[in-house]
Amino acid sequence: MRCYCCSSLSYSHCCEPILLKQQTAGSPEALMRSRFTAYCLQKYQYIVDTYSENERAGITVEDIAQSASDTRWFALNINSTDTTAQIVEFTAFYYEKSKTGILHESSTFVLENSEWRYSTGIIHDNTGMIKIGRNDPCPCLSNKKFKQCCSRIR
Ligand SMILES: [Zn+2]
Ligand SMILES: [Zn+2]
């Protein structure tokens, strides 16, 4: 099975060992991908655990579960990574009550005790509901049409 984060790897060779904490994320992008996958799988403890120490204070699993309850994430595009500033710019696609939306964010990551953690993010203006045509290429990079791919999980 291809990984939830839309990499070219299988889940067991991509985000799974990181989510199971058998492996640490080797880069901000790897951590970003694993957090996206954790949202897909509703592994919210992992989301809490991978915030930076400052951001984690006051965030609970219940908060995250509640804010994510109407959202089903289905595709991730990494647009660019800045390995000097440790910023990953991405577009994440989701369904909310069968409508399609995107989160377009530039996330900043920090190294704490030799592990990458999510610090903060800047949300870009085009974040919000979008329309994806049935014959458009699926945003999950499968090279299939949307109607033959992720539109089916809605
Ligand atoms: Zn992955
Ligand atoms: Zn797809």
- Residue 153 alpha carbon to ligand 1 centre in Å: 19
Kindly state whether residue 2 falls inside one of the protein's structural domains.
Answer: no
The total number of structural domains that make up the chain:
1
Q: What average pLDDT does the segment 5-18 reach?
A: 97
pTM: 0.96
Kindly state whether residue 44 falls inside one of the protein's structural domains.
Answer: yes
Burial class (CB in 10 A: 0-12, 13-18, 19+), 25: buried
What is the span of the domain harbouring residue 107?
Answer: 11-153
In the structure encoding, which two tokens stand for residue 84, read together? 């000097």
Cβ < 5 A residues, ion ligand 1: 3, 5, 7, 14-15, 33
Kindly state whether residue 3 falls inside one of the protein's structural domains.
Answer: no
CATH number at residue 39: 3.10.450.50
In the structure encoding, which two tokens stand for residue 62, read together? 């219940």
Give the confidence band of 154 by pLDDT, cuts at 50, 70, 90.
low
Kindly state whether residue 6 falls inside one of the protein's structural domains.
Answer: no
pLDDT by residue (tens digit) across 86-140? 999 999 999 998 899 999 999 999 999 999 999 999 999 999 999 999 999 999 9
pLDDT reported for residue 39: 97
Kindly state whether residue 56 falls inside one of the protein's structural domains.
Answer: yes
pLDDT by residue (tens digit) across 33-45? 999 999 999 999 9
Kindly state whether residue 1 falls inside one of the protein's structural domains.
Answer: no
Cα dihedral value 22, 24, 30, 36, nearest 10: 60
- Residue 5 alpha carbon to ligand 2 centre in Å: 11
| Amino acid at site 142 | S
Kindly state whether residue 149 falls inside one of the protein's structural domains.
Answer: yes
- Residue 90 alpha carbon to ligand 2 centre in Å: 16
